[in-house]
Chains A and B, each alone.
Chain A
């Protein structure tokens, strides 16, 4: 390759050119033709019953795995909720535990043995009876095979032994008492199908459709990044779902999902994590669309690095030392205008933050007393920082103990617009205090997070009906054993007083007394200032009322539809009578689109025809 631009104008044999061009075109056609049959054709085995009612849900997440032993993403675990029974479920009214595959459960006086009665009216979709043996096998596999413990291993880490003395009795022996034995969110799989799997760490459960299950729906098809299809289980013990089919269709882009809803291509859109305020307000005015703007189950907080360390006492990461001072943490939070966050960023689709647990869990919701509350007061925040010894220098910048101007690194999720938006506000609010902010936005914050390499971070968790998990992640016990391990800890909080309260609530069996202890923990967490809850974002989702007549939210009064603890929403959804009008509207779209295409093609054809004629004329 020595000279440049060899394009010259000399005489060459045109015939050969034509041949090569033709060959190229043929090759292309071939590749295009190859492309089509290669895309898996839809299996004939499960053709949607004609005239069947289909509920289509737009999702933004792709499936990580369809194996219940591996799946961790919300979409995948939601699908497992729908296709496999768990031992217990939560009531959609008020989240109390209700029977699932187990009808009753009791613990021994020493609290170490739990006995579940397994229902005898649940059948696998291949006709076999679901028994205690299936449940025992599922747990045993997770206990013995590390590959099977990938997703839900933490549920069985305290299990001593699991047995099924008879088809309706499941016995679990524990190493030490565990209060969450009625909240084992583990899909029970059919032993006779799964015992043939040799490597659980590789098996994705996505080859043999329909997948044998016993939930309200049966998984019938999955095409990666396109759709997941489920068929109603007519024999479901709680009663068959009202829709005949449930399809999760993948829309990478939320705008695409919203416009698909608008056009009736999908029945429901949840957004990830929720619709934007602009989308919600534009959908509100739309005919036949209902926007469900309900209190969410998430809290949205500003976490502070408390000087990350492991259980063995070794420190890790490089959190800013000035943040070890509680006055500094509280001062920073006092300079965060939570009202502006709600009004400007969430535009009203959130509730101002207070305690750790969102208000929708009324039992556990806690609010700081007026004297305790860190109200927005930037002036007072400045004074608090002065008192903490972080004074302003001549340039108006606050200086740390090391004499250097303070700049905090705030870790944010590049995928969450709210993080970025609030990050900009933080820059300006704390800039007023004389503190610099570097916003580090990453698609995946896991690594700096686990390594403790941040000063502050945007944090948020979905809270379960039983708050044990979200409380446990702030105990010293959750710290990693050594800096090399990954602990269950959220942001390395370790506080003796908090831990004492945690142990007491875990041992407390009286619900009211336990709730009181939980509130004390929230109060402690609030004062510590390591976990500053800014807001409780609403679940903002929308569905078409001409396709879905009614659907159960959770909690029933005002709650979310997508991502419930249970299968209530899709199981309960009632098709609207005019359900098929949407189908025709979308097919109208197809017709119009095709007509347009034909017109364009005809135009192009006419153009060439005209040219041909013109050349023919010229040719005599």
Chain B
């Protein structure tokens, strides 16, 4: 997403006293709280705009009397005025109760905690791989700036960055999962497990199912980390102190590892956190294509009903993931960069 360069956490220049960090911290936390509240408000009102009567959706067109419909409305609090529904919703949300899913007839929070580990497993694995890959390749690329290796490297990253993830996923299924020509299908076509395995076999089975979705995510995501690392490092390499270091006779490699890379990693670290939040939300497509039983698939399923409480809850979780990660980045950034926030 192009948004990332500008969404980097920004410090307050000028505040350099020792007591500034707690204040900075408090400010950031308050900001995050306000954002979360705003998300809560949006998730509530945005989905009220979906045309139609939720109770009618809920009863799925079965024959029901107006009394029964009224009962349902009462049960789900839909008979109350909107503002009261909203305050109820917020009040309950604070206690972790996000309502009851219409289609599964189960607490939203249960459905979310059920699917969340699956999403974390997928995004977590992909995230670790694409971050490491992005940083390693980005460093190499910057160091060999302008050479063939760099060009191929950035070129490939840009190409993969431009590929729609769902399409890449479908192609991977066609080639590596269904099998094409003489090539047999190597990987499962979807889902997270075959069912029936236990113990270590179960872990292997899940890992086997994990390969293609992770490859898809890594392919479309690593490019950004690579490019940011590369440009940060290139900025760094132009710095005076590096020239000095080199002039002092330090070896290139040492200069690179001791000075340039750690400093250049700074913007990358913030990007890493922001990416993690975004990946959780951006996984919808990959989960849909690979039938992964995670939050993204659940969101898509909930929207088609529409299962308002579930949609709201998931929307909140997705946005919260980004906010929490951004805030973490905000909080960590000044610890890394002494110029910011102290």
Contacts and interface: CB of A to CB of B under 8 A. Distances in A.
Is A–B contact present in the complex under a CB 8 A cutoff? yes
Residue of B51, B196, B211, B263 with most chain A CB atoms under a 10 A cut-off: B196
Interface in A29-80: 29, 31-32, 34-36, 38-39, 41-42, 44, 47-48, 54, 62, 64-65, 70, 72
Contacts of A38: 117
Interface string A579-616: 00000001001101110110000000000000000010
Contact of B121 (A39, A48, A485, A615): A39
Interface residues of B, number: 107
Interface stretch (A3-11, A511-519, A547-555): A3-11
Contacts of A34: 117, 120
Interface in A230-274: 247, 249-253, 255-257, 259-260, 262-263, 265
A424 B43 CA distance: 35
B3 interface: no
Interface in B93-125: 103-106, 111, 114-115, 117-118, 120-121, 124-125
A18 interface: yes
Interface in B285-330: 288-291, 293, 297-298, 301, 303-306
Contacts of A65: 104-105
Interface in B50-108: 51-53, 56-57, 59-66, 68-69, 71, 75, 103-106
Interface stretch (B151-159, B219-227, B266-274): B266-274
B262 A12 contact: yes
A154 B186 contact: no
Interface string A441-454: 00110111110000
Contact of A590 (B9, B208, B241): B208
A2 B12 contact: yes
Contact of B265 (A13, A17, A226): A17
Interface size class of A (residues with CB under 8 A): 35 or more
Residue of A28, A414, A415 with most chain B CB atoms under a 10 A cut-off: A28
A70 B9 CA distance: 49
Contacts of B211: 593, 596-597
A486 B103 contact: no
B262 A586 contact: no
Contact of A11 (B56, B103, B241, B298): B241
A16 B63 contact: no
B284 interface: no
Contacts of A72: 60, 62
Interface stretch (A19-27, A96-104, A494-502): A19-27
A488 B63 contact: yes
A35 B60 contact: no
Nearest to A485: B66
Residue of B61, B290, B306 with most chain A CB atoms under a 10 A cut-off: B61
B305 A444 contact: yes
A6 B337 CA distance: 10
A41 B200 CA distance: 11
A28 B128 contact: yes
A596 B186 contact: yes
A6 B56 contact: no
Contacts of B164: none
26 contacts: A2-B13, A4-B10, A6-B10, A9-B238, A17-B269, A20-B332, A20-B335, A32-B125, A35-B120, A224-B293, A247-B195, A249-B191, A249-B194, A251-B191, A255-B173, A255-B189, A260-B188, A414-B304, A443-B305, A446-B56, A447-B56, A485-B69, A596-B186, A596-B211, A597-B211, A619-B254
Interface of A: 1-14, 16-18, 20-21, 24-25, 28-29, 31-32, 34-36, 38-39, 41-42, 44, 47-48, 54, 62, 64-65, 70, 72, 146, 154, 201-202, 204, 223-227, 229, 247, 249-253, 255-257, 259-260, 262-263, 265, 414-415, 443-444, 446-450, 478, 481-482, 484-488, 586, 589-590, 592-594, 596-597, 615, 618-619
Given A12-B337, A64-B104, 15 more contacts: A6-B13, A7-B235, A9-B239, A12-B266, A14-B262, A21-B269, A47-B198, A250-B293, A252-B190, A253-B288, A414-B304, A449-B61, A485-B64, A485-B66, A590-B208
**The 3 nearest A-B residue pairs measured at CB:** A447-B52, A14-B262, A256-B190
